[in-house]
Structure 1
Amino acid sequence: MKRYLLSLLVVGLFLPAISFAQQDSWQLKTSKIVSTWAENIDIENVHQEYPRPQMVRENWMNLNGLWEYAITPKDASKPSTFDGNILVPFAVESALSGVGQRVGKDSVLWYNTNFRAPSTRNKRLLLHFGAVDWRSEIFINGQSVAIHEGGFDPFTVDITDQVKGKRTQELTVKVWDPTDEGPQPRGKQIRDPHGIWYTPVTGIWQTVWVEAVPETHIVSTKHTPNIDNEELSFSAKVANAEAGDQLRVTVRDGQQEVTSQEFGVNEEVKLAIANQKLWSPKNPHLYDLDIELLRNGKVVDQVDSYFAMRKISMEKDSKGIQRMMLNDEFVFQYGPLDQGWWPDGLYTAPSDEALKFDIVKTKEMGFNMIRKHIKVEPARWYYHCDQLGMLVWQDMPSGDLGNRWESRPGVFGLGTEQDRSAESEGYYKKEWNLIMETLHNFPSIVMWVPFNEAWGQFKTEEITEWTMEKDPSRLVNSASGGNFHPTGHIIDLHNYPEPAMPTPGLFGEDYILVLGEFGGLGLPVENHVWQQKDNWGYQSFKTADELFDRYSSLMDRIPDLIRAGLSGAVYTQTTDVEVEVNGLMTYDRKVIKIPVEKLKQVHQKLYDPSLVN
Structure 2
Amino acid sequence: MNREKPWQDYPRPQLKRDSYYNLNGLWDYRITTSTTLPTEYQGKILVPFPLESSLSGVELRLAETEYLFYHTTFRLPSNFKKDIVFLHFGAVDQEAVVYLNKVEIGRHQGGYLPFSFDITRYLLSGENELIVRVKDALDTKYPYGKQSKKPRGMWYTPVSGIWQTVWLESVRQGYIEELKITPNIDEKTVAFNFKTEAKEITIQIFDDNQPLVNKKTEDKTVTISLPEVKLWTPDNPHLYKLIITTKTDQVDSYFAMRKVGIGEHHNKKVLLLNNEPYFFNGLLDQGFYPDGLYLPANIDGFIFDILKMKELGFNTLRKHIKVEPLIWYHLCDKLGMIVWQDMVNNSPYSFFHDTILPTLGFQSKNDEKRPIPAENKKIFIDSMKETVSLLYNSPSIVLWTIFNEGWGQFNSVKVTEILRQIDNTRLIDSTSGWFDQKVSDLLSLHIYFKKVRFKKDKRPIIISEFGGYSYKIPEHSYSLDKTYGYRFFRDEGSFRQAFIELYEKQIIPNIEKGLSAAIYTQVSDVEEETNGILTYDRQICKLDVNETKALNNRVKYGK
**Smaller-chain TM-score bracket:** over 0.9
1:605 is matched with which residue? 554
Q: Alignment partner for residue 315 of structure 1, among 249, 263, 269?
A: 263
2:520 match: 571
1:399 paired with 2:346, answer yes
Shift of residue 167, structure 1, vs aligned partner: 2.0
Paired amino acid for 2:407:
W
| Partner secondary structure for residue 438 of structure 2 | coil
Superposition misfits of 4+ residues, deviation over 6 angstroms: 403-408
1:147 aligns with 2:98: no
Q: Please report how far the alpha carbon of residue 176 of structure 1 lies from its aligned counterpart in structure 2 after TM superposition.
A: 1.1
Deviation at 1:487, TM superposition (A): 0.7
Q: Distance in 1 between matches of 2:450 and 2:218?
A: 56
Q: Is the 8 A contact 2:277 2:557 kept in 1?
A: no
CA contact (8 A) 2:81 2:170 kept: no
Change (3 A) 1:145 1:404: farther
Do residues 377 (structure 1) and 330 (structure 2) align? no
Q: Secondary structure at the match of 1:609?
A: coil
| 1:205 Cα offset (Å) | 0.4
More off after superposition, 567-576 vs 54-63: 54-63
SS in 1 for 2:554: helix
In the alignment, the residues of structure 2 paired with residue 477 and residue 499 of structure 1 have an alpha-carbon distance, to the nearest angstrom, of 22
State the partner residue of 2:74. 115
1:272 and 2:225 are equivalent in the alignment: yes
Contact 1:87 1:98 survives alignment (8 Å): yes
Task: Identify the residue that residue 352 of structure 1 maps to in structure 2.
Answer: 299
1:415 aligns with 2:366: yes
1:505-561 alpha-carbon deviations (Å, 9 max, x no partner):
3xxx1x221001110111111211001112121111111111110000011021211
Superposition deviation, residue 404 in structure 1:
12
Question: Equivalents in 2 of 1:403, 1:282: separation in Å?
Answer: 41
AA in 1 matched with 2:462:
V
1:210 to 157, 168, 175: 168
Residue equivalent to 1:461: 413
Q: What's the secondary structure of 1:361's corresponding residue?
A: helix
Instruction: Tell me if 1:220 matches 2:178.
Output: yes
Shift of 1:461: 0.6
Q: Mark the CA change 1:258 to 1:541 in structure 2 (over 3 Å): closer, same or farther.
A: same
Structure 2 residue identity aligned to 1:182: T
Question: For residue 149 of structure 1, what is the amino acid of its counterpart?
Answer: Q
Provide the rounded CA distance (Å) in 2 between the counterparts of 1:517 and 1:485. 18
Query: Does 1:334 find its partner at 2:290?
Result: no
Question: Equivalents in 2 of 1:45, 1:497: separation in Å?
Answer: 46
The partner residue of 2:11 within 51, 55, 61 is 51
Give the conservation status (yes or no) of the 8 Å contact 2:279–2:556: yes
Secondary structure of the corresponding residue to residue 5 of structure 2: coil
Partner of 2:535: 586
Q: 1:434, 1:140 → 2: CA distance?
A: 26
Of 227, 239, 245, which residue of structure 2 is paired with 1:292?
245
Please tell me the residue identity of whatever aligns with 1:284: P
Aligned partner of 1:17 in structure 2 is: none
Match of 2:544 among 595, 600, 607: 595
Q: Does 1:61 align with 2:29?
A: no
> Structure 1 residue 199: deviation in Å?
0.5
Distance 1:603 1:143, change over 3 A: same
- Give the Cα separation in 2 of the matches to 1:346 and 1:212: 31
Matched with 2:137 is 178
Matched, 1:90 2:79: no
Q: Which amino acid aligns with 1:565?
A: G
2:30 corresponding residue in structure 1 = 70
> Are 2:488 and 1:537 equivalent residues in the alignment?
no
**Of 43, 60, 75, the match for 1:101:** 60
Q: May I ask how many residue pairs the two structures share in their alignment?
A: 552
CA spacing shift, 1:403–1:542, aligned 2, 3 Å: closer
CA distance in 2, matches of 1:121, 1:314: 49
Shift of 1:159: 0.5
What's the offset of the Cα at 1:203? 0.6
Which residue of 347, 351, 361 corresponds with 2:308?
A: 361
The amino acid that maps onto 1:259 is V
Tell me if structure 1 keeps the 8 A contact 2:264–2:277: no
Give the Å deviation of 1:570.
0.3
In the aligned structure 2, how far is the partner of 1:593 from the partner of 1:404? 31
Alignment partners' CA distance in 1, 2:413 and 2:535:
38
Q: 1:254 aligns with which of 208, 218, 222?
A: 208
Alignment identity in percent? Answer: 39
- Partner Cα distance (2:134, 2:311) in 1: 39
Match of 1:14 in 2: none
Which consecutive unaligned segments of at least 5 residues does structure 1 have? 1-40, 295-299
Q: CA deviation at 1:432?
A: 1.2
Which TM-score applies when normalising by structure 1?
A: 0.87
Q: Secondary structure at the match of 1:270?
A: strand
2:260–2:272 CA contact under 8 A, matched in 1: yes
Instruction: Report if aligned partners of 1:406, 1:419 keep a CA contact under 8 Å in 2.
Output: no
CA distance 1:149–1:78, change in 2 (3 Å): same
Deviation at 1:316, TM superposition (A): 2.9
Task: Tell me which amino acid in the other structure corresponds to 1:202.
Answer: S
Distance 1:308 1:89 in 2: 30
Deviation at 1:604, TM superposition (A): 0.8
CA contact (8 A) 2:91 2:113 kept: yes
User: Deviation digits for residues 349-373 of structure 1, max 9, x if unmatched?
Assistant: 1100111110010100100100000
Q: CA deviation at 1:415?
A: 3.1
Instruction: Give RMSD over aligned pairs.
Output: 2.0
- Hey, what's the Cα distance between the residues in 1 that align with 2:221 and 2:412? 31
- Find the counterpart in structure 2 of residue 20 from structure 1: none
Question: How many Å apart are 1:89 and its aligned residue?
Answer: 0.4
Extract unaligned runs of 5+ from structure 2: none
1:435 equivalent to 2:393? Answer: no
SS of the counterpart of 1:58?
A: coil
CA contact (8 A) 1:393 1:446 kept: yes
Question: Alpha-carbon deviations, 1:562-601, whole Å to 9, x = none?
Answer: 1110100100000000001100000000111112222111
Q: Distance in 1 between matches of 2:188 and 2:386?
A: 28
Mean CA deviation greater in 532-541 or 305-314: 532-541
Partner AA of 1:364 in structure 2: E
Q: List aligned pairs for 1:32-43, cutoff 5 A.
A: 41-43=1-3
Candidates 186, 193, 202, aligned match of 2:151: 193
Amino acid of the structure 1 residue aligned with 2:479? Q
Per the TM alignment, residue 498 of structure 1 is displaced from its structure 2 partner at its CA by 5.5
Distance 1:276 1:416 in 2: 43
Cα gap change, 1:337/1:406 in structure 2, threshold over 3 Å: closer, same or farther? closer
What is the TM-score normalised by the length of structure 2? 0.95
CA shift in 2, pair 1:604/1:498, >3 Å: farther
Q: 1:419 to 1:590 in 2, by over 3 A?
A: same
Give the aligned residue type for 2:241: D
Using a 3 Å threshold, how does the CA distance of structure 1 residues 406 and 608 change in structure 2: closer, same or farther? closer
Q: Secondary structure in 1 aligned to 2:501?
A: helix
Separation in structure 2 between the aligned mates of residue 246 and residue 501 of structure 1, nearest angstrom: 57
User: How far, CA to CA, are the matches of 1:571 and 1:314 in structure 2?
Assistant: 22
